[in-house]
Amino acid sequence: MASLGNPKNTIEILNKYSFVFQKKFGQNFLIDNHVLEKIVRAADITKDDFVLEIGPGIGTLTQYLCEHARKVLAVEIDKKLIPILEETLADYDNVSILNEDILKVDIVSIIKEYNDNKPVKVVANLPYYITTPIIMDLFESHVPLSGVTIMIQKEVADRIKALPGSKDYGALSLAVQYYAKPHIAANVPPNCFMPRPKVGSAVINLTPHENPPYHVENVSLLFSLIRASFNQRRKTLVNGIYNYEGLSFSKEDIIDALDSLEIPNDIRGEALSLEQFVRISNYLSKYIHS
């Protein structure tokens, strides 16, 4: 099968099946071989790897993955794409296709079933309407991961890798950096896709931490504190946490925590590092137990 990274071949197969793009599924197919090569290189795939691809579309990236990996499991929500994938991937015997919604399947059980619970690499040109839930799901459900290389909206990639003090820094930066080290591998313009998205894209590599970077007493408290701090961005951290519905600390407790860590009382969440959030969270966790 000729490479679908060549737009002529993509158009041909789409016409053959009278395929109509579904906006609701975030369908923007890659039509650039250089970008496909960059993704595979950034993911550092070898013949030892089991790759989970989310949203294979017509199989453009999947073909590359099959060439480089030991085994590929591709999960696609749109049933109209399944017969197309059967044709475009017919040359490969190391691929399985699941017609499922990635947010509804139990990824951990799938990995157990298909890869004996061994670590997998996730590689995908993600549907942009559900980028954040997919990323958080992979990490929070403790899927065994050895790498995540995904095409996402450039603006989201910038938020993920942002550090304290930057305008892009927020709950998403902290949540992802708690689990992994982000690195932007490539910026990708709209003309590399069919149809063209309205926004720029980026390939981001998330390397999961082998061990958690900090000891956290209560992870769900840490995440609530982070959400509370960025819920009202212009408020101080004390007011953000105090006003947050899911938390019930007194102002005194919060100020106490900041004082003990020598953090100014008027600080805003956007100025705090992950380590500082962890220390505040560990300090406040004792008020939850008592």
Q: CA 44, CA 65: separation in Å to the nearest integer? A: 11
Task: Give the nearer residue to ligand SAM in terms of CB position, either 111 or 221.
Answer: 111
| 76: contact with ligand SAM by CB under 6 A | yes
- Answer yes or no: are the C-beta atoms of 239 and 247 closer than 8 Å: no
Q: In angstroms, what CA-CA distances link 280 with 56, 151, 220, 277?
A: 42, 34, 13, 5
Smallest distance from the beta carbon of 58 to ligand SAM, in angstroms? 7
Residue whose beta carbon is closest to ligand SAM: 55
Residues 6+ apart with CB under 8 A from 245: none
| 75: contact with ligand SAM by CB under 6 A | yes
| 169: contact with ligand SAM by CB under 6 A | no
Q: Which of residues 129-158 bind ligand SAM (CB under 6 A)?
A: 130
| 110: contact with ligand SAM by CB under 6 A | no
| 242: contact with ligand SAM by CB under 6 A | no
Its sign, for the CA torsion 270, 276, 277, 283, is negative
- 165: which 2 tokens? 């003090």
Q: Which of 13, 19, 30, 148 binds ligand SAM (CB under 6 A)?
A: 30
Smallest distance from the beta carbon of 12 to ligand SAM, in angstroms? 15
Helices assigned H by DSSP within 44-180: 60-68, 82-88, 107-115, 131-140, 154-161, 171-179
Q: Which residues bind ligand SAM (CB under 6 A)?
A: 25-30, 54-57, 60-61, 75-78, 81, 101-103, 125, 127, 130
